Amino acid sequence: MKGRLSLLYFLQFSVWGCYLTCLSQFLGAGGLGNRIAWFYAAIGIISLITPPLLGNLADKSHSPKYLLGMCHFGAGVLMLALWYYAKLHPTLEFIPTYALYLGFLAFYMPTMALSNTVTFRLLDHSGINTISTFPHIRIWGTVGFVAAMWFVNCAYWHDGNFGFTLSDNVDPDHLRFQYNYMQLLCSGVMALFTAIYAFSLPEVKVNERAAAPSPGSRPRLFYAIKSLLGSRQIAIFLIFVILSGVCLQISNGFATPYITHFTAFPEFAGSLAAGNATMLFSLSQIAEAFCILLVGVSLKYKGIRWVYAIGLVAWGLRFLMLGLGNPTDRLWLLIGSMLMYGIAFNFITIAGHLHIQQVTAPEMKGLAQGAMMFMGNGIGATCGIFIAGAIVNHWCRWEMVSLGNHTVRLFMGEWITPWLIFAAYSAGVAILWLLFYRFRMNES
């Protein structure tokens, strides 16, 4: 059972890994580079709507695996429709591209919670300890995400020939999937595979009375937020959840086109790092998997106040290293930026979820977790990517650049200033966190 569920997470997150960190390169090549923020903000927007609705339906369902499978099937069909549209339209139009992508997310984002529901039910039914086992299963999602990133980074299709390469010295490389619509095809196909696999999982019947909604039940997310804000300690914490959530999608949206733009400069053009931005970015997910082990120990010895502050500083260092790095003599800064993501993500997101679990009343714990996701991944990340998009578009623009005997569209401009602004913001929030937590909140 643990092996089957590990494969479920591997497949599910490979759907995301095929495109999430290199989507901006595809959009830029298709003429929608100035709309990148809209596509990454869509994740937060959709997360406010369909996951709660499908999650509520899963609680009432006797067999949530079918909901999971249907969501993956719908996501796969819409992603393949987006791939087909992009194949027929080298110059993308915003409305049809965005509409198809929103449709994909509407089906895909609920699978994050649905897969957890299916997994917990199957583990409980099999008599397997959920708390000790789930982290070992969930880590295979990160493995799948990284494997998909490596695949689209290296794979190419040229004149009917399929192959892999890391080099930027031959023409087929500019048809590598990380640059074009083939990343969408990979994502769509993986979603359909995941749907088939989800349908094949064992059936777990639950008691009808347990699955039935309680009398007078109603959507409780906004009620939960209102109730939680009644506690001054939790209210301040959730405000900082929004402020820190601003950082979540910035590097996902802009790091790979930033790294790739170095190929336009002769001194960097031959660098493996400049031509393999997606693979370089995968170090972030690898660091995330390793650093998750540090969260519990750090909370035990330093407490949430300093752990959260370290996470915010790590976000600042990630942005600073991106701005100061390059693919040759300063490659170590780019690598350091990717590794810093492990601390930044885990010390904010994972530590935050553990903290909110500790400081809320027993009857509010589940709702508090939902409120934190709503504020951080929803409000914070959505606002953050829109603001970041405006800042980046002010200093940078997509241009046609000649590379050898072919021309490609790259995101050129004065990149250092935007990264320094993002770094300064993170550092500022860290200072505010230490001030307000120390003087206005009690240690939990």
152 and 277 together in one domain: no
Residue 379 domain flag: yes
Residue 303, token pair as written in the block = 């407490």
Residue 152 domain flag: yes
CA distance 289 to 141: 10
Q: Which residue has the higher pLDDT, 119 or 40?
A: 40
190 and 271 together in one domain: no
What stretch of H or E contains 403?
A: strand 396-403
Show Cβ contacts of residue 77 under 8 Å, excluding neighbours closer than 6 positions.
188, 192
Residue 213 domain flag: no
Residue 217 pLDDT exceeds 80? no
Final residue in a domain of this structure, among 173, 202, 231: 202
Residue 403 domain flag: yes
CA distance 146 to 137: 15
Final residue in a domain of this structure, among 142, 172, 202: 202
Q: What is the pLDDT of residues 175-192, one digit of tens each?
A: 789 889 999 999 999 999
Residue 211 domain flag: no
18 and 152 together in one domain: yes
Residue 214 pLDDT exceeds 50? no
Q: Which residue has the higher pLDDT, 208 or 88?
A: 88
How many domains would you assign to the chain? Answer: 2
359 and 322 together in one domain: yes
> Which of 52, 146, 49, 101 has the alpha carbon at shortest distance from 341?
146
pLDDT of residue 58: 52
Is the separation of the CB atoms in 400 and 411 below 8 Å? no
261 and 354 together in one domain: yes
Tell me the whole-structure pTM to 2 decimals: 0.85
The mean pLDDT of the chain is 84
User: Which residues on adjacent β-strands are paired with residue 400?
Assistant: 409
pLDDT of residue 130: 65
Alpha-carbon torsion angle 252, 258, 261, 266, nearest 10: -130
We report the CATH number of the domain holding residue 276 as 1.20.1250.20
355 and 428 together in one domain: yes
Residue 208 domain flag: no
**Structural domain containing residue 281:** 221-444
pLDDT of residue 374: 76
Q: What values do phi and psi take at 155, rounded to 5? A: -75, 145
Percent share of the chain, pLDDT over 90: 47
Helix (H, G, I), strand (E, B) or coil at 77: helix
316 and 432 together in one domain: yes
Q: What is the pLDDT of residues 318-370, one digit of tens each?
A: 999 999 999 999 999 999 999 999 999 889 988 887 777 677 776 666 556 66
225 and 352 together in one domain: yes
CA distance 401 to 34: 17
424 and 280 together in one domain: yes
Is the separation of the CB atoms in 272 and 125 below 8 Å? no
Q: Highest mean pLDDT range out of 99-103, 170-174, 403-407?
A: 99-103
173 and 225 together in one domain: no
Is the separation of the CB atoms in 310 and 431 below 8 Å? no
> Which of 379, 235, 377, 245 has the alpha carbon at shortest distance from 311?
245
Is the separation of the CB atoms in 21 and 278 below 8 Å? yes
Final residue in a domain of this structure, among 170, 202, 234: 202
Q: Which residue has the higher pLDDT, 67 or 228?
A: 67
Residue 321 domain flag: yes
Residue 22 pLDDT exceeds 80? yes
153 and 269 together in one domain: no
Residue 216 domain flag: no
Q: What single letter denotes the amino acid at residue 205? A: K
Q: What values do phi and psi take at 176, rounded to 5? A: -60, 150
307 and 421 together in one domain: yes
> Which of 249, 124, 100 has the alpha carbon at shortest distance from 188?
100
